[in-house]
Structure 1
């Protein structure tokens, strides 16, 4: 289930890049979150009126984190290869783990991931395809929102029963994206066929991976889940290669290996502390 979630999410992101020219990165994000929110709200039917002020505050923060993480990540993969973007984005949870633990080992794993990401910039200097600086900045912002996503999702999980909190957060994210979603209306009216890849993106990048992750967490210990989730940069690189023709150099392979190792070791280190 975890591997299926990784494959669905990363292939969904790669698939989304194909509709960026028509809908834009932020418009695609808005449409994806809106479709996912409508489906989950229809399925879960959370009792929104019964939520307390603290529950609503947690869901609002979770929704803002979802919107920022997805929006800036899509803006990044429009400019840099998806495998590199996912690797850099892993700095968010790794840095969060290092800050919360205050143990030197977690700082080492974050440093190892930084070293791996540094190899991308070495490749940038010696290669013939320089990295887009704005794309790198966008994915760094997405990494910060990913760290916020982890904190807010844990809080929502504690305060809101079931998957209603996720459905509500997706709805909040969709509302925050409405100004960007308006730009998708004229292209969709002109080309109704765009709804097909938009629906596919919402299913692959939101509904399927979230459902699989929720089911997997009920069957797997969290450390095992975290280690398997560390495979995302590898899956993203394959998705970029197969769907987008984004090749990867030897230095890039080494960089991805270092980030995956750092993420897996950080997860195992947290397990030993518990």
Structure 2
């Protein structure tokens, strides 16, 4: 729980920092440059071997990297348009849907309806949120679901943290078309913010999530990922001044509670 909490805090703080780079680097340029910086740090620290890995392990590494790249890109496109708490709440639906797909019991279905009611409160009564921003957040959620499954698989594999370094490198390679044009635009005073954002939201977050995956299952990880919308909402209010309406706040609470219940009960049944 503490590992996932640290990862969630790093991810949300990183998003707050990255918002200040959007005007200069663009949304996808910022996300991609962070991945590139984090990949360099992780490759230096863990020095992963390339030989001796099975085909199955390489497939997991590549999929994990692709999920990282897509999740980060879509989430950043979302937070450019909608409040951080709203984006991370919609994002959290990804692990919930993965768990729901494995269960057809009435209890999980009712919890899913409660989560959808929470989304309705957010989107319908929470304020005039940008539709495209909500779509980007939903796309990030789909990638988050895959990330949750792969975090547990990579964490419990023999590759461990060295495999994480390779996955982040894969994510950085996949996003080179965005990071290469962005790097020359970085001003000297912005490098510190970029490196800090990369270390908190990518190197630290992905590493501790994988460490947590070594200690527990995707089911428990999915429950603990409910930290993301809670911390995103708090940091959005405290640091960014993104005050949410009462219906939106209730919707976030409903999604977090119902989503955690879905993941827990569905995983218990399996």
**TM-score with structure 1 setting the length:** 0.89
Is the CA contact (8 Å cut-off) linking 2:103 and 2:269 kept in structure 1? no
Secondary structure of 2:81 counterpart: coil
Contact 1:91 1:110 in 2 (8 A): no
Q: Deviations over 1:199-242 (max 9, x none)?
A: 11111212223344445556678766544431321110111112
Summarize deviations over 1:133-167 as a string: whole Å, max 9, x none: 11111111111111222233344345442212211
Specify the SS of the correspondent of 1:200.
helix
When the two chains are superposed, the root-mean-square deviation of aligned CA atoms in Å is 2.2
Alignment of 1:116-155 (within 5 A): 116-124=118-126, 127=127, 130-155=128-153
Distance 1:47 1:37 in 2: 15
Which stretches in structure 2 are left out of the alignment for 5+ residues?
Answer: none
Question: Deviations along 1:86-129, whole A, 9 cap, x unmatched?
Answer: 111112111111112233322222221111011012225xx4xx
In 1, the alpha carbon distance for the partners of 2:76 and 2:123 equals 21
Q: Which residue of 2 aligns with 1:262?
A: 258
Deviation of 1:22 (Å): 0.8
Matches within 5 A, 1:1-274: 1=2, 2-124=4-126, 127=127, 130-188=128-186, 191-216=187-212, 226-270=222-266, 272-273=268-269
Aligned length: 268
Which stretch shows the higher mean deviation, 135-144 or 159-168? 159-168
Q: TM-score, normalised by structure 2?
A: 0.90
Distance in 2 (alpha carbons) for counterparts of 1:222 and 1:156: 11
* Structure 1: runs of 5 or more not aligned: none
Measured at CA, do residues 224 and 150 of structure 1 come closer, stay the same or move farther in structure 2, by a change above 3 Å?
closer
Provide the rounded CA distance (Å) in 2 between the counterparts of 1:49 and 1:220: 28
1:58–1:227 Cα change, 3 Å:
closer
